[in-house]
Amino acid sequence: MILTRTSIRCPTRTAMPATDGAADTVATTPLWRGAQVFRLVTMLYAIGHQVVSARYYRHPELSWTLTGVLVGWSVLSAFLLARWKTPRWFDQRMHTAVVWCDLLVVLGLIASTRLVADYGWYHDRETFATTLWSANPVISAAVLWGATGGTAAALAVSVLSLIIRGQWNSELWSDPITPVMVSVGLAMGLASVTARRAQQRLEQAVRMTAAATERERLAREVHDGVLQTLAYISRTGTEIGGRTAELAARAAEQELALRILISEQGQQPDGGGAEVDLRPLLTAQAAPAVQVATPGEPVRLPRRTAAELAATVAAALANTAQHAGPAAKAYVLLEDTGDEVIVSVRDDGPGIPAGRLAAAAAEGRMGVSRSIIGRITELGGTADLLTVDGTEWEFRMPRSNGRQ
């Protein structure tokens, strides 16, 4: 079976994080559990507030009943939101349902203030559920939905508190409840988003490290086995000659394809950023008649610049294949001097006669001027043609131009 460059895949034996849902669970579990500690502490504060204030209420018996609801819901919701080991699909749905119920319970207890106290009490003091305990759904919404969800919950709680206390018209902009609630929701929301992003980046780094380790292992195994065998077949077949010469040529092609594939596996994957590594774009053009040499470190250029340089090299190699003859060899060399990137494409063919390019352009044949010189000039670089011992193109791309 003839191998191709896409015939090999690097298996990964190292266990790695699987899904974004798992990353979200790991990232937010400490936030959820810390929020439940806060919930239970504020529950104790609410109980103490009830003990002190019950004798001032219009209906103290009802206030104790509602306090029982507050305590029961605090314990139940703290248990449900503490991230116990449950299936992830159930965990996500349960948390969403509990946070919605949490908000409704708090809003209901705030509204019940007018049932247990008279105007003189709730107008100048806290609502029945206490402001501190009422921050719990704001925190939960922020952890679950981020800054937007936390801010929305904060506005709902603070606005209802202002309405129930009858301070909507007089102290709307001076009451501290709204800014405190919004600040809590915004801060916790940003914290949850940051935690999720940090966990995702950590897991991505773990995956890349594990994949790189596996690629190195596979590369060693391939080098020690398959590549040495192909090299032996190529060398022996060439020595024997005759019909085995074709087998030797095929073995040499597959050896080159494997070496290119292994070298590409060691390079960083394209992360989709503004800049890309030029090396894999050039090594992809290697063939039995084309040798490509690149630096050991990434040569990063703007995505469009790298693509145009690679296309220019492909055009130069196409000219070599068309005009230099089937026996010609081509060599591509990539250099990075820091100030500029230099790509040389040389072949051992007969070279281009003096004046031939100008004559082709005059005849309306614009292949070289457009596909090679035109591309480089448009990018702000230079394309120099040398015709000593074959044909050599030298493309120079200044960094200042390549990064615009």
Mean pLDDT over residues 68-72, rounded?
94
Residue-range domain boundaries for the chain: 20-207, 275-398
Residue-level pLDDT at 105 = 95
Residue-level pLDDT at 355 = 54
Q: Write down the mean pLDDT value for the chain.
A: 79
Instruction: Provide the CB-side half-sphere exposure for 390 (13 A, CA).
Output: 20
Does 357 score more than 60 pLDDT?
no
**275-398: CATH class:** alpha beta
Burial (CB < 10 A; 0-12, 13-18, 19+), residue 14, is exposed
Q: pLDDT for 165-211, tens place per residue? A: 776 655 545 667 788 889 899 999 999 999 888 888 888 888 878 87
Q: What are the structure tokens assigned to 13, written together?
A: 């034996």
Q: pLDDT for 307-356, tens place per residue? A: 999 989 988 888 887 777 777 888 999 999 989 999 999 888 776 655 55
Q: pLDDT for 362-389, tens place per residue? A: 454 545 556 788 888 888 899 888 766 7
The length of the chain is: 404
Lowest mean pLDDT among 48-52, 234-238, 349-353: 349-353
Is 350 strand, coil or helix?
A: coil
- Outline where 85-135 has alpha helix (H): 88-111, 113-116, 119-124, 131-134
Q: What percent of the chain has pLDDT over 90?
A: 27
pTM across the whole model? 0.54
Does 46 score more than 60 pLDDT?
yes
Q: pLDDT for 118-146, tens place per residue? A: 877 777 777 887 888 999 999 999 999 99
